[in-house]
A and B are shown apart, each in its own frame.
Chain A
């Protein structure tokens, strides 16, 4: 029953997306056509119907309705409620339904609140959003129906991949998807602006909060995913340059570039065509990522089912959407008039540098991710990993970070280095000093560069405050400072982790102690424990930091029974200055237990830094929306007064 309702809602939403597209198109072709009035309400209802379908899917998962094929394939009656609920999107069909839901809701929200742009541009934007949505509705309904039934119903479900049975599943995918799919708004805005030739500062100001919102979620989603992989996979790493991670990093790089170029367009009416292009590229990267992750050409915990038909379908959608947007861009780019001029030494100049470097890094990641697939198509099997990605992205990221220290101090249009020299000199000296100390300590090149830059950047991030009254600094500026400081913090965490991590791999009898860095870890005993759908061997470890109070750690080797699979659950002891990470391995024939221990100084800074970057986005977003609201209220008051005087 609920499944039928969900399917009906999904079909209806698809039909409304078609109506939205046709109505907007007709209204655009014929000025004054009545259909224009339909577009906004239809967009809102379409979003609500998609959300209804998604709620129905969650409901059938929560009650484990085994007559629904998807539930039978991916759930189990004995699974804890949290994973029944979150398991709704822990599979291919469910995650694609989440995709169209977010896409529909985002479009509906734009239709509901966005009033700053000329109506034709809004119609074109909503038409573009409907066009992209339609493709994904078709994909769901034709080749990935989440509500497909089983007759007779299965006696029991097959369960969810145990690697996904973690609270992270409730948080990471939805956050990442809101970011990923939220970028569709940037795409639609860009297409809308191209169709109506309305590339203006007003367009950038209207688009910016939407991009900012998507970017905040994308940032948090990546941070959450990185931390989840770090503690779940038991390899002690926080980033593996795995293609699915790159799939989330690429839209983030493009969206970060877009945010910065949109601020140039909004403030100075320059970089017009480029900003539109980035709007197209950012969501294109989301779609490329979805293709990589969902088509089954990669195998990872994110690729649920290998089905060539689905792969070709997504590839077709990808080619259609990106191709159409690029053709439109090629046709209209020449008519986008030249922006305002600026000197090389100016805020714009620094932001152009930022954009070029981010795009370069994006290119490096994209090529490194796609190359193994191309090579395999040509018959060679190749793996590309950190030895390629680390130095190659550093080529672009390091100069960009150096300019990050300078750019925010420069004035718009034209400035001179002489004016800002004192403000740049102090962070530069700090970087130099840190570098020389670290050289003496014999640190490797990349961590050294990272740490020295982080020191300078952390200071430079606050330099834009110099000579300002703190109480009068606006929220977007605070946001920028928080985000740039976050970059320094994250960079420090990365460098500290790669330079100072201590690892011990040992086999010990119970009662024996091991030293790792400043920690002394004693394996007290191993006890069997049981959870709702697993049993485990749990190590009881006592860890003392520099002989201080003991802290108990409980790493587990878990055996799930539906589906039958083993996982190891790491245990963490967090201090302000780092994390102790423990994994329990196998028991050897002589009764000793394998232990893998890491002391990772300041590793948590990586994720704190990431969250600071997101916080910067939140501050900027609040600031922008607040000033928009104030403007609207002020305008309303003036109109009201005029009306009263008119009487």
Chain B
């Protein structure tokens, strides 16, 4: 085996290895984030500029009143998420969060299928007054605007 390298060089080599690994980790992270971060859409944005089918995104909006239907299997639900301008049909299989109901806000995690239907893997609803998903903070503002427009 090689003899221990000279002290001065050893420190240099170690510093270089550490830097290369850290910069490598940084570049790798940046590259992966570019490809894999999932983006947040409002219904209007999704209608105007839909993400490609199969790409992981989040959709946030209001559960339209009267749109919630349960399939005969008892566990698949369909509803429409809307804002003032656009509507997106959503299908979800699972137990809905406790505060999920028509007329309230929801953030759906999932992807668009080729037919333009949003397949949700997960629904985030408002848990309580103190716990609101990050993306929904703005949505309540949008909601407020909408209500103002409607009551005009």
Contacts and interface: CB of A to CB of B under 8 A. Distances in A.
Interface of A: 161, 163, 234-235, 271, 274, 298-301, 304-305, 338-339, 341-345, 352, 356-357, 359-361, 363-364, 367-368, 371-372, 375-376, 380-385, 387-388, 391-392, 395-396, 413-416, 505-507, 563, 565-568, 583, 585-586, 588-590, 592, 594, 596
A414 B1 CA distance: 8
Interface in B22-80: 22, 24-26, 28-30, 32-33, 36-40, 56, 58, 70, 73-75
8 contacts: A359-B22, A364-B25, A367-B26, A371-B37, A372-B37, A416-B1, A506-B75, A594-B75
A519 to B, nearest CB: 18
B98 A568 contact: yes
Given A396-B25, A507-B74, A414 B4 contact: yes
Contacts of A567: 98
Contacts of A507: 73-75
Contact of B36 (A359, A360, A388): A388
Nearest to B56: A387
B141 interface: no
Given A338-B10, A341-B7, A388-B36, A298 B134 contact: yes
A563 B29 CA distance: 41
Given A299-B133, A381-B135, A388 B32 contact: yes
A581 to B, nearest CB: 13
Interface stretch (B83-91, B123-131, B142-150): B123-131
Contacts of B33: 367-368, 371, 382, 384, 388
B28 A364 contact: yes
Contacts of A592: 74
Nearest to B70: A588
A383 B38 contact: yes
Interface in B83-121: 93-96, 98-99, 109
A588 B29 CA distance: 44
A566 B36 CA distance: 33
A552 B1 CA distance: 63
Nearest to B122: A235
A380 B39 contact: yes
Contacts of A414: 1, 3-4
Contact of B14 (A300, A352, A359): A352
A388 B127 contact: no
Given A367-B25, A367-B26, A385-B56, 6 more contacts: A299-B131, A359-B25, A360-B25, A363-B25, A381-B40, A387-B56
A231 to B, nearest CB: 15
A356 B1 contact: no
Interface in B1-23: 1-8, 10-11, 14, 17-18, 21-22
B28 A388 contact: no
A588 to B, nearest CB: 5
A352 B5 CA distance: 15
Contact of A341 (B10, B18, B36, B73): B10
A356 B13 CA distance: 13
A368 B25 CA distance: 11
Choose among B4, B11, B14, B29 the residue with the greatest number of A CB atoms under 10 Å from its CB: B29
Contact of B131 (A161, A359, A360, A363): A161
A304 B132 CA distance: 11
A228 to B, nearest CB: 16
Given A360-B22, A586-B95, A274 B14 contact: yes
Contacts of A338: 7-8, 10-11
B83 to A, nearest CB: 15
A395 B26 CA distance: 12
Nearest to B4: A341
Nearest to B42: A381
Contacts of A235: 122
A415 B32 contact: no
Interface of B: 1-8, 10-11, 14, 17-18, 21-22, 24-26, 28-30, 32-33, 36-40, 56, 58, 70, 73-75, 93-96, 98-99, 109, 122, 127-135, 137
B29 A344 contact: no
**Interchain residue pairs A-B with the least CB separation, the first 4:** A507-B74, A381-B40, A566-B98, A585-B95
A417 to B, nearest CB: 8
B74 A506 contact: yes
Contact of A388 (B10, B37, B132, B137): B37
Contact of B39 (A363, A381, A391, A506): A381
A591 to B, nearest CB: 10
B95 A594 contact: yes
A278 B6 CA distance: 24
Nearest to B109: A383
B25 A305 contact: no
Nearest to A163: B127
A146 B131 CA distance: 21
B28 A395 contact: yes
Contact of A161 (B11, B36, B130): B130
Contact of A392 (B32, B132, B134): B32
Nearest to A270: B10
A363 B2 contact: no
Contacts of B74: 506-507, 588, 590, 592, 594
A344 B17 contact: no
Contacts of A506: 73-75
Chain B CB within 10 A, most for which of A359, A371, A375, A505: A505
Contacts of A384: 33, 36-38
A342 B4 contact: yes
Nearest to A565: B128
Nearest to A509: B74
A590 B4 CA distance: 77
Contacts of A163: 127
B21 A356 contact: yes
Nearest to A584: B95
A271 B40 CA distance: 44
Given A343-B4, A383-B37, A384-B37, A359 B18 contact: yes
Contacts of A360: 21-22, 24-25
A596 B70 CA distance: 16
A59 B39 CA distance: 46
A77 to B, nearest CB: 20
Contacts of B130: 161, 304-305
B25 to A, nearest CB: 4
Contacts of A388: 32-33, 36-37
A381 B130 CA distance: 21
Nearest to A357: B21
